[in-house]
């Protein structure tokens, strides 16, 4: 098999705290092939954003990243700050939930996109960059791109700002786009348009996407493969169709049961009660306290991830029983 574009193995992220460390990403493994979309789903606080920051080399100090992140066969964990900067410019781009964090409020949108082009594409000068910026704004579906290029971020709507950020991310023609809740702040119509846009761009430039959301319905619109995170771990990973057809982890089953789309609904399970536990866990399954099937064994040891069907991995003692 050819090497995947991104190969994450045993990734851990810890932050120091009084008397020890807090493990917020607890040894996760997955891969993404070129041109494919991986969806990452899980409720707030489960470690989705910290995982994406780790992929960009942006985990804030004093956080510690361990394990392996291989990109095109090259190990990224432990590489120099300069190497991370090059990679972020040339190969991996990221879109966040709040577009204003990625935009400079005192620079026109066109100028910002042009800047990305000048910095990251060989031989592109400012003049050409500004022309290409208009083309990129058009490509992300912004009307009157020439006028919008002259606008400042606050003069655009939220949906348009997010399109502008996507245009900026695309300026470096990334091989991997990390989209962390890119549509969460937008209303549903705009959300659907942004998803369509990302799929369309993926078709055109062949980039891989890691698409993160707390909302499984949104992830299901775009992902070929889905990982479900819970309290810093991957509890289930499967091709999207398999995840909906035969969800194996009780947490995933609960998520699917709450989806509004009847086509994606299985027999109703008890609503998932309780809150996310302390991320460090106490040695047992982290989901045990909220799990309708948990028994003493589940509280005694943490389940390992097991591949129960091709590409379908689950970390649950009860799965497959
Ligand atoms: N800079 C930080 N220092 C300490 N803890 C952090 C930091 N950033 C995130 N965390 C903790 O890591 C956990 C996972 O956060 P995050 O990845 O943002 O969750 P998600 O994106 O899934 O909502 C949370 O408990 C959060 O409080
Ligand atoms: Mg997040």
Backbone angles phi, psi at 23, to 5 degrees: -95, 105
Task: Starting from the CA of residue 51, give the closest ligand.
Answer: 1
Specify the number of domains making up the chain: 2
Q: Is 49 in the pocket of ligand 1 (CB under 6 A)?
A: yes
Task: Starting from the CA of residue 40, give the closest ligand.
Answer: 1
What pLDDT is stored for residue 20 in this prediction? 86
- Examine residue 319 and state whether it is found in any structural domain, yes or no: no
Question: What kind and span of H or E run contains 136?
Answer: helix 126-139
Q: In the numeric block, which tokens belong to residue 107?
A: 């620079």
- Count of alpha carbons within 13 angstroms of residue 43, beta-carbon side: 14
Maximum pairwise Cα distance, the chain: 67
Q: Are 179 and 167 found together in one domain?
A: no
Q: How far apart are CA 89 and CA 198, in angstroms?
A: 19
Q: Are 159 and 224 found together in one domain?
A: no
Q: Are 257 and 282 found together in one domain?
A: yes
Q: How far apart are CA 94 and CA 72, in angstroms?
A: 18
Residue nearest to atom 20 of ligand 1 (CA): 45
Residue nearest to atom 25 of ligand 1 (CA): 45
Ligand 1 atom closest to the CA of 46, numbered from 1:
22
What pLDDT is stored for residue 269 in this prediction? 42
What pLDDT is stored for residue 90 in this prediction? 82
Q: Tell me the CATH number at 104.
A: 3.40.50.300
Q: In the numeric block, which tokens belong to residue 265?
A: 């609904």
Length of the chain: 321
What pLDDT is stored for residue 268 in this prediction? 43
| Of 42, 46, 47, 52, best ligand 1 pocket probe by most atoms within 8 Å of the beta carbon | 47
User: What is the domain extent for residue 51?
Assistant: 6-91+174-314
Q: Are 144 and 40 found together in one domain?
A: no
Binned average pLDDT, 10 residues per bin, the chain of 321 residues: 88 92 94 96 94 95 97 97 90 87 92 92 91 92 94 93 90 91 84 86 91 92 95 96 95 88 49 54 85 93 94 94 75
Last-in-domain residue among 158, 173, 188:
173
Work out whether strand 20-32 and strand 74-75 pair parallel, antiparallel, or are unpaired.
Answer: unpaired
- Examine residue 274 and state whether it is found in any structural domain, yes or no: yes
Q: Are 190 and 304 found together in one domain?
A: yes
What pLDDT is stored for residue 320 in this prediction? 76
Residues 6+ apart with CB under 8 A from 256: 216, 243, 244, 247, 264, 265, 266
Q: Are 135 and 185 found together in one domain?
A: no
The conformational region for residue 276 under phi > 0 = left, psi -120 to 50 = alpha, else beta, is beta
What pLDDT is stored for residue 98 in this prediction? 82
Q: How far is the CA of 128 from the centre of ligand 1 (A)?
A: 40
Q: Are 145 and 281 found together in one domain?
A: no
Q: How far is the CA of 262 from the centre of ligand 1 (A)?
A: 33
- Examine residue 182 and state whether it is found in any structural domain, yes or no: yes
């Amino acid at each position: 098999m050819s090497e995947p574009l991104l190969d994450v193995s045993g990734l851990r992220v810890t932050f120091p705290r009084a008397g020890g460390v807090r493990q917020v990403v607890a040894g996760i493994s997955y891969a993404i092939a070129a041109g494919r979309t991986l969806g990452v789903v899980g409720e707030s606080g489960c470690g989705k954003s910290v995982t994406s920051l780790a992929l960009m080399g942006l985990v804030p100090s004093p956080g510690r990243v361990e394990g392996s992140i291989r990109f095109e066969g090259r190990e990224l964990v432990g590489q120099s700050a300069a190497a991370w900067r090059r990679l972020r410019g040339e190969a991996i781009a990221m879109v966040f939930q709040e577009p204003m964090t990625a935009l400079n409020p005192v620079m026109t949108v066109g100028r910002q996109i042009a800047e990305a082009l000048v910095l990251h594409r060989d031989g592109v000068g400012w003049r050409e960059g500004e022309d290409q910026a208009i083309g990129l704004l058009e490509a992300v579906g912004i009307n009157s791109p020439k006028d919008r290029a002259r606008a400042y971020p606050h003069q655009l709507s939220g949906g348009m700002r997010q399109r502008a950020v996507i245009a900026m991310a695309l300026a470096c023609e990334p091989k991997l786009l990390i989209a962390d809740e890119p549509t969460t702040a937008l209303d549903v119509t705009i959300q659907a348009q942004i998803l369509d846009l990302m799929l369309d761009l993926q078709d055109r430039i062949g980039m891989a996407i890691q698409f993160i959301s707390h909302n499984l319905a949104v992830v299901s619109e775009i992902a070929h493969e889905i990982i479900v995170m819970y309290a810093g771990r991957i509890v289930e990973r499967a091709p999207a169709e398999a995840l909906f057809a035969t969800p194996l982890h009780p947490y995933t089953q609960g998520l699917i049961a709450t989806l509004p789309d009847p086509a994606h609904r299985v027999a109703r399970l008890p609503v998932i009660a309780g809150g996310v536990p302390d991320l460090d866990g106490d040695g047992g399954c982290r989901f045990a306290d909220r799990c309708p099937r948990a028994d003493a064994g589940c509280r005694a040891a943490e389940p390992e991830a097991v591949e129960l069907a091709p590409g379908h991995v689950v970390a649950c003692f009860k799965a497959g029983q």
